[in-house]
Amino acid sequence: MSGTLILVRHGQSEWNLKNLFTGWRDADLTEKGHAEAKAAGALLNERGYRFDIAFTSVLQRAEKTCQHILDAVGQPDLETIHDQALNERDYGDLAGLNKDDARKKWGDEQVHIWRRSYDVPPPGGESLRDTGARVWPFYMGRILPHVLRGETVLVAAHGNSLRSLIMALDGLTGDQVVKVELATGVPVIYRLNADSTVASKEIVEV
């Protein structure tokens, strides 16, 4: 019996719009972000998806995205686990800075390394590898058991926390995963085999 795992990156946030490094800062969704989350829910509802449990981070942009999706499928009160293990990558000293200003301060190449390398963290922050080191055990211990019981599970989180999870699911290398782009509000649907390997993957876009 295989279960279904649906990953959704939160809708556009206010700091996405302003081109700021966000990380663990608790930016809200923009009007467009709310619309993206609602559209993701509508897509899943049209396909008849209903969830057994949901997981999200403790940051409101992901929490609100999760709630919009649950509202759209008629499950507003579904059990939802909020955990900082699913938070966005911590950008440390870069958090709150405009990305263009950061390039002026540290140089294009250094900022690119911090943003797109797998294992080089920004000052005071996390690398993608560090992010995966907290996301993957949480997935294995808390999320995967539900999927292996044949349940349908929603995870609404962030670009890098989901990227690190996709790295493991898709068997990607560090060099490959940093090239993975996740659009805001676009569901990624995995069906897993009983041995936890991926049976199928589908990206659902409008």
Higher pLDDT residue, 115 or 144? Answer: 144
Domain range list for the chain: 4-203
Instruction: Determine the Cα–Cα distance for residues 70 and 79; give it in Å rounded to an integer.
Output: 10
Number of Cβ within a 10 Å radius of residue 13? 27
Give the tens place of pLDDT for each residue, 15-68: 988 999 999 999 999 999 999 999 999 999 999 999 999 999 999 999 999 999
Q: Residue 101's pLDDT is what?
A: 94
Instruction: Determine the Cα–Cα distance for residues 36 and 93; give it in Å rounded to an integer.
Output: 29
Q: Please provide the average confidence, as pLDDT, over all residues in the chain.
A: 95
**Helical spans, DSSP H, in the chain:** 14-17, 31-46, 60-72, 99-106, 108-116, 128-138, 144-148, 159-170, 174-177
Instruction: Determine the Cα–Cα distance for residues 66 and 43; give it in Å rounded to an integer.
Output: 14
pLDDT band at 188 (very low <50, low <70, confident <90, very high): very high
- Predicted model pTM: 0.95
Q: Are 74 and 68 contacting, i.e. CB atoms less than 8 angstroms apart?
A: no
Q: In whole angstroms, how far apart are CA 137 and each of 6, 51, 141, 143? A: 18, 22, 6, 10
Q: Which of 65, 54, 56 is nearest to 88 (CA)?
A: 56
Ramachandran assignment for 150, one of left (phi > 0), alpha (psi -120 to 50 degrees), beta (any other): left
Could you give the residue numbers annotated as active site? 10, 88
Give the tens place of pLDDT for each residue, 158-170: 999 999 999 999 9
pLDDT band at 116 (very low <50, low <70, confident <90, very high): confident
Q: In whole angstroms, how far apart are CA 82 and each of 18, 129, 154? A: 26, 22, 12
4-203 fold = Rossmann fold (3.40.50)
Give the tens place of pLDDT for each residue, 67-81: 999 999 999 999 999
